[in-house]
Amino acid sequence: MASKMHPETAVIHAGRLREPQGSLVSPIYQSATFVFDDVQTGSARFAGEQSGPIYTRLGNPTVAEFERRMAHLEGADGAVGFASGMAAVSAVLLGLLSSGDHLICNTCLYGCTHSLVSEQLPRFGIEVTQVDFADLEAVRAAIRPSTKMLLLESPVNPHLAVYDLAAVAALAREAQLVSVVDNTFMTPLLQRPKSLGIDIVLHSATKYLNGHGDVIAGVVCADGDTLELLRHRSLKDIGGVLSPHDAWLILRGMKTLALRMERHCLNAQTLAEFLESHPAVTRVYYPGLESHPGHHLLGSQMGAAGGVLALELDADFEQAVAFVNRLKLFSIAVSLGDAESLVQHPASMTHATYQVEDRHRAGIGDTLIRLSAGLENVADLLADLRQALAPLSQSSTLEEAL
């Protein structure tokens, strides 16, 4: 019965075990270690001959419930929770790649992921090639005998490019490569990469999964031997462990995920349509707009367009910064997926780690602004954007008059 649950039901019920005291809400197992009845029991658990908790770095009942829920939602054999989204990314790259291996990733990635692949992986003898995944023939041409993995986001942070994940997965299978997709922007309610053939799906659970801006966490969903390797090599030995309390907070947040995503998407669509028609805005990046190159994947790859959008202003760097500073309801913060609407300037914030030429090659201009549409009444958000854009509109009108 559980496997047939709709996603809106699964975010509440999947992976739950009957609580022996009858508590409706799953308890927090806030314990570093667990007691064995005798040495023989402890030995059997360490040997993998008996199930049961040992030590929270190796597994915890509260964390395990979160992992089971995510595995169900993403259609994976299992999942591994981590202390942050970057711990999840690092676990996959450092756990599955070795010295001499070659990674192909997209030209644009979250800023810290970009730093990891461009600065840290080469220190371990792992070669990296960055290619625009919109051109799969260029990806194919970059494959070498030493290539082991394809890594991308879709939609991309921060400019919402969308890639055909089924085509990426087919290319990976053909070349016998591991395909990895960061699904943070979509959540498994809007996009399920594994159903399209992707091997590994990861999330920053900090964002929509938790949804309340009070947790840092990550999760990787995978199958079979990969799952066990990540758990024992990356989690046990490197130690980016998700705390039971944070796992419990995410479980609580996920109960409203379906409702929240509906409102996030509705607000983002309304904001995108308004901004696309505004004279001070030169371009809007949002898959829900017909002008977006990935719009055709709505309904097949993506169930909806998500709650994040980006825009470019008819302005310079200083004017773009001033626009952000004028916003009142959009808090200036570098996360997304919270109840509060957020705004950030990628060139000087999340993607400031890029070299200038790499940033421009990735399509991140000086006037690009990323918005995370929150749960507020959209009329208030529109009013805030109007007042912040007004000086730019007046400036454009004055220039035209002169």
Between the CA of residue 139 and those of 62, 96, 103, 105, 230, what are the distances in Å? 40, 20, 11, 9, 26
Cβ within 8 Å of residue 59, ≥6 positions away:
53, 231
Q: Is the distance from CB of 107 to CB of 130 less than 8 angstroms? A: yes
Q: Is the distance from CB of 197 to CB of 170 less than 8 angstroms? A: yes
Active-site choice (207, 260, 359, 370): 207
**Residue 234: which of 35, 43, 79 has the closest Cα?**
79
Region at 87 (left for phi over 0; alpha for psi -120 to 50; beta for the rest)? alpha
Q: H/E/C letters for each residue in 352-381?
A: CCCCHHHHHHCCCCCCEEEEECCCCCHHHH
Active-site choice (29, 110, 163, 285): 110
Tokens 């591991």 identify what position?
178
- Bridge partners of residue 342, in order along the sequence: 331, 372
Does the annotation count 110 as an active-site position? yes
Between the CA of residue 8 and those of 11, 189, 258, 262, 317, what are the distances in Å? 6, 8, 6, 11, 42
How many residues belong to the chain? Answer: 402
Q: Is the distance from CB of 306 to CB of 373 less than 8 angstroms? A: no
Does the annotation count 57 as an active-site position? yes
Active-site choice (132, 182, 246, 314): 182
Contacts from 94-98 at CB under 8 Å and sequence distance 24+? 94/124, 94/234, 94/238, 95/229, 95/230, 95/233, 95/234, 95/238, 96/148, 96/149, 96/178, 96/226, 96/229, 96/230, 97/121, 97/124, 97/126, 97/148, 97/149, 98/125, 98/126
- CA 29 – CA 96 distance, rounded (Å): 30
Joined together, the tokens standing for residue 199 give 């091997």
Tell me, what DSSP letter sits at residue 117? I
**Catalytic residue ranges:** 57, 110, 182, 207
